[in-house]
Amino acid sequence: MRHNVGVTIPTPRFRLPVLGDVLSIDADKPTQRELEMAAELGPIFERKILGHRLIVVSGADLVAELNDESRFAKFLALPHRKLRALGGDGLFTAFNSEPNWGAAHRILMPGFSREAMRRYHKVMTDVAFELVEHWNTRAGRSIDVTADLNKLTLENMARAGFGYSFDAFVRNDDEFVAAIVRILGYVNRTSNDMPFMRVFRRGDRIRNDRDIAYVHGVVDEVIEKRILDDSRHDDLLDLMLHTPDPETGELLDRVNIRHQVLTFLVAGNETTAGTLAFALYFIATHPDVAAKVRAEVDAQHWSAESVSYEDVSKMRYTRSVVDETLRLWPSAPGYFRKAREDTSLASGRYPMKAGEWAFVLTLGLHRDPVWGADPEQFDPDRFSPERAKSRPAQAYRPFGTGMRGCIGRQFALHESVLTLAELVRAFDFELDEGYELNVQESLTLKPQNMRMKVVPR
């Protein structure tokens, strides 16, 4: 991104010769650091690390331009390129030019239809009930709720998408989730490393390679088990194994299926678990919000101890709690966009050459002035129909944008609202005394070391 003479993009203070803005790096919390910088420098600013240039954009008007699919496309920046060691040409980490991305997208779209979501609902209610039972055995004790929510979302995705269970609430073996968390953390920590740091990270790199090999082996076992099964299943894995691409007539290859399964297990697990954990934090710290959610949940028609598929969409306030949670702490804190051809932002103020790119800081976008004078406050009523109509749609992008946005958005939202309803119906939540929200980054966001007491209602 280049700019006209006389138009200066703000930069961090204390830029050093050659090294650039290395003093602005926070390897543990990179996007939260950029949120602080956006508050100081404004809706667009520039960082340089060893000559590598990064433009960070958070203003709603500028983001609306970057989201224009006719002018900009998804860009696979360094963190996501490093993640290709795990997910290859899966939906999230594929380059735009790789044909398997488009083929998988076309093949998998029916897997997120209304009919498919009805099938997944039964799985989600079963898994939510297992978590409720698990917490009932620990009532009154301090629980690592984020870890247990990771188990829930992993089970939902594995069972609904691939007919496989990790038996997460029965076994004490959390190695698969732990390996995923370590891989994401490694990518997050090393994306801004200086070249000399690679010497000191040799042990981490060996562990990361071992984690990737382990996770690949687990997923290959899931696929192999299905191939040996003569029966057919109405799920994502069956679609990938047996459905030809409607454009080419070809099936996905075995390695790409592994990449797609991993994409769903990683993205569907980490992101929704974080969203639910943040939502429980806000419910525990906002008694008025908790009371409204409980009243709405209790008013539903519960059959066989579970809410129906149709009733999930009727819980509009609970959905607003999920939406507001994703506004303040979106699971994916940002995404990258590159220019398809020579263009500019802000009516020619910031010219961009074809191929140049910028980072949309969703954390900052969701705190833009269009959200009002109190964007740091948790207020689900922001998503009432009246208030939602008063702001631009492009100001809210927790699932990315365009064709490369999250294909599993409806799955994640249904899972979040249903699970939150089941948990709030069963329990009151009390944060451990003295806990203050500490947000962990490992490409996704989640509360760190958050423990709660769950008290049966």
Angle at 297 between CA 293 and CA 300, to 5 degrees: 150
pLDDT, tens digit, for every residue of 410-457? 999 999 999 999 999 999 999 999 999 999 998 899 999 999 999 998
pLDDT, tens digit, for every residue of 330-372? 999 999 999 999 999 998 899 999 999 999 999 999 999 999 9
Residues 6+ apart with CB under 8 A from 434: none
Residues carrying an active site annotation: 271, 399, 406
pLDDT, tens digit, for every residue of 25-40? 898 899 999 999 999 9
Could you please report the per-residue DSSP string of 66-125?
HT-TTTEEE---HHHHHTHHHHTTSTTT--TT-HHHHHHHHHHGGGGSHHHHHHHHHHHH
H-assigned helices in 228-354: 236-242, 254-285, 287-298, 309-312, 316-328
What is the DSSP code (8-state) at residue 6? T
Using CA atoms, how far residue 282 sits from 222, 324, 379, in Å, is: 36, 10, 10
What is the DSSP code (8-state) at residue 49? E
Could you give the domains of the chain?
77-334+403-456 (1.10.630.10)
Using CA atoms, how far residue 317 sits from 121, 272, 440, in Å, is: 20, 18, 27
Cβ 454 vs Cβ 429: under 8 Å = yes
* Torsion angle defined by CA atoms of residues 218, 219, 222 and 223, in that order, rounded to the nearest 10 degrees: -140
Q: Give the total residue count for the chain.
A: 457
Lowest-confidence region among 147-151, 229-233, 238-242: 229-233
The model's pTM is: 0.93
Q: Where are the beta strands (DSSP E) in 104-207?
A: 142-144
User: Which residue matches tokens 């209610």?
Assistant: 125
Average pLDDT, the chain: 91
* CA pair distance 63, 43, nearest whole angstrom: 9
